[in-house]
Amino acid sequence: MCLSIFTSLLGPLSPPALSKQLQVHCLRSVDNLFVVVEEFKDFQFKKTKEEALKDFEDLAGKLPWSDPLKVWEVNTCFKKKKTKCKKMSQNSNKERIGNRRDKLDEKDIRGFTDNALDSHILDYYENPAIKEEISTLVGDDLASSKDETDEHSKEETEPQVLKFRVTCNRAGEKHCFTSNEAARDFGGAVQDHFKWKADMTNFDVEVLLNIHDNEMVVGIALTEESLHRRNITHFGPTTLRSTLAYGMLRLCAPQPTDIIIDPMCGTGAIPIEGATEWSNCYHIAGDNSPLAVKRAANNISSLLTKSQIKESKSSWGLPIDAIQWDSCNLPLRTGSVDIIVTDMPFGKRMGSKKRNWNLYPACLREMSRVCRPGTGRAVLLTQDKKCFAKALSGMGHVWRKVHTVWVNIGGLHAAVYLLKRTPQAFVHSSEQDGERGTPW
Ligand SMILES: C[S@@+](CC[C@H](N)C(=O)[O-])C[C@H]1O[C@@H](n2cnc3c(N)ncnc32)[C@H](O)[C@@H]1O
């Protein structure tokens, strides 16, 4: 999910006031943030490419950049950097933005920086192991990577000019220009307007041009590394974003002392997010693959080490355990679990559609056994909706489907189902068989 921030909704734009507003960085279900420069609900794109691109050029000088740039500047303190940490002091930012915008009061900046450094919002960590996925379209001739090495040596001696790039995301059939052309021409005009320097990889400001049919939003990115990059250091083939894991857990409203399991945990993204955000519950991460369990255990240990380092004292640990098990035959008592949250194999990268026809009914049945009748709930993610619907259709006596949330997982249209455990007691198949089959 992407969260857009409108400066008109932020209230006073002094740095201390903004520091409060920028607590949006603490939101657990948001991947990326940007501040809106201007939103056009119905932009009249011209019919020919030349005219449409000329409009992009003209637009750059007319936009209300000043307030969004103040937000961007204050945000620098909060932003979780990618692997390379570009240390820019507030003052150097101020110089580099140049003459075209209002300057922030020196005292405010100093006061703000002191506050911000004390703030828990800075409790981020870097994960050099992760590569950012960027689907960015940048004007090719805005910047050449050849210049980059020269620039690094010049940086130390010359007064710094801000570096920027334009990223255009375009959806819709009717445009007579490509996103690359829009980014290139709009970027050229932004460069002329601010006298900034274009740089595709080592940029300070990322200007966003989001176009969807006739709707266009110009924004400035406030996140450099997506906020879902937390918790996980040992990745698997289908590691779930922590932001989505958080959303799934929230759907079943965990209560203190609840026992929450992920019977097919993979790298443990869901139970680890659960243990960090709902630490008054007990979480169990299980998988039938020894490699997955090892990864989950490694992720738990890395997180513990990190929190020990951060708090520079012995940590109390996390309320989570990892175990190898078969989700169709869980080593748990009947009716002992309050919440089940899991991301089932889609049958694409993990497992197969054919195997799902056996797996889904078997594990839904086993989940109905361990889940507490009357109050238990399950949140299950799958893209194999047909197989899931078929499996669930035979279990109306134990599961009631309450809600479906549609999600996009790497371009796949998937569903998150919220199920409630009915009050009906679980009946073992042997008992059922007994009932049906006694010949006397
Ligand atoms: C989609 S992946 C889960 C990914 C996980 N959410 C993560 O963030 O890494 C599904 C997992 O189900 C596991 N699995 C498949 N069949 C299983 C079974 N019968 N019992 C337990 N786990 C199973 C696979 O090993 C795989 O790790």
Please give the residue that has the higher pLDDT: either 6 or 119.
6
Question: What pLDDT is recorded for position 76?
Answer: 79
Please state the atom number of ligand 1 nearest to the C-alpha of residue 381: 1
Question: What pLDDT is recorded for position 129?
Answer: 29
Question: What pLDDT is recorded for position 226?
Answer: 77
The response to whether residue 289 sits with its C-beta less than 6 Å from ligand 1 reads yes
Alpha-helix runs per DSSP H in 3-65: 15-21, 49-60
Question: What pLDDT is recorded for position 229?
Answer: 80
Q: What is the Å distance from ligand 1's center to 83 Cα?
A: 29
3-state secondary structure of 164: strand
Q: What is the Å distance from ligand 1's center to 293 Cα?
A: 10
Report the distance separating Cα 75 and Cα 33, nearest Å: 10
pLDDT, tens digit (0-9, with 9 covering 90-100), for 216-254: 999 999 988 777 788 889 999 999 999 999 999 999 999
| Residue where the block lists tokens 């989001």 | 210
Please give the residue that has the higher pLDDT: either 95 or 20.
20
3-state secondary structure of 84: coil
Q: How far is CA 204 from CA 179, 196, 412, in A?
A: 21, 10, 32
Residues in CB range of 20: below 8 A, 6 or more apart: none
The response to whether residue 368 sits with its C-beta less than 6 Å from ligand 1 reads no
Question: What pLDDT is recorded for position 146?
Answer: 37
Asked whether 319 and 339 are in contact (CB, 8 A), the reply is no
Residues in CB range of 194: below 8 A, 6 or more apart: 65, 97, 98, 100, 162, 164
Report the distance separating Cα 228 and Cα 218, nearest Å: 23
Question: What pLDDT is recorded for position 80?
Answer: 65
Q: What is the mean pLDDT of residues 407-411?
A: 85
Entry field: residues in the chain = 440
pLDDT, tens digit (0-9, with 9 covering 90-100), for 114-155: 333 222 222 222 222 222 222 343 333 344 333 444 555 555
The response to whether residue 326 sits with its C-beta less than 6 Å from ligand 1 reads yes
**What does the DSSP 8-state code read for residue 10?**
T
Residues in CB range of 432: below 8 A, 6 or more apart: none
Residue nearest to atom 14 of ligand 1 (CA): 264
The response to whether residue 231 sits with its C-beta less than 6 Å from ligand 1 reads no
pLDDT, tens digit (0-9, with 9 covering 90-100), for 297-322: 999 999 988 877 776 655 578 999 99
Spatial CA neighbour of 35 closest among 57, 8, 60? 8
The response to whether residue 242 sits with its C-beta less than 6 Å from ligand 1 reads no
The response to whether residue 189 sits with its C-beta less than 6 Å from ligand 1 reads no
Most confident of 61-70, 137-146, 152-161: 61-70
As a whole number of angstroms, the longest Cα–Cα distance in the chain is 97
Report the distance separating Cα 253 and Cα 336, nearest Å: 17
Number of helical H runs and strand E runs in the chain: 13, 13
Q: How far is CA 183 from CA 41, 44, 84, 278, in A?
A: 19, 18, 25, 42
State percent of the chain over pLDDT 90: 57
In a mutational test of the pocket of ligand 1, which residue from 130, 272, 288, 358 has the highest number of ligand atoms less than 8 Å from its CB?
288
Q: What is the Å distance from ligand 1's center to 426 Cα?
A: 24
Spatial CA neighbour of 325 closest among 386, 354, 284? 284
Q: What is the Å distance from ligand 1's center to 326 Cα?
A: 10
Q: Could you give phi then psi for residue 148, rounded to 5 degrees?
A: -60, -45
**What does the DSSP 8-state code read for residue 312?**
T
155: enclosing H helix or E strand: helix 146-155
Question: What pLDDT is recorded for position 278?
Answer: 96
Most confident of 133-147, 165-179, 342-356: 165-179
In a mutational test of the pocket of ligand 1, which residue from 262, 264, 360 has the highest number of ligand atoms less than 8 Å from its CB?
264
**What does the DSSP 8-state code read for residue 221?**
E
Residue nearest to atom 26 of ligand 1 (CA): 266
The response to whether residue 409 sits with its C-beta less than 6 Å from ligand 1 reads no
Residues in CB range of 384: below 8 A, 6 or more apart: 344, 345, 346, 347, 353, 356, 360
Q: CA 347 from chain center: how many Å? A: 23
The response to whether residue 407 sits with its C-beta less than 6 Å from ligand 1 reads no
Label residue 266 by pLDDT band (50, 70, 90).
very high
The response to whether residue 343 sits with its C-beta less than 6 Å from ligand 1 reads yes
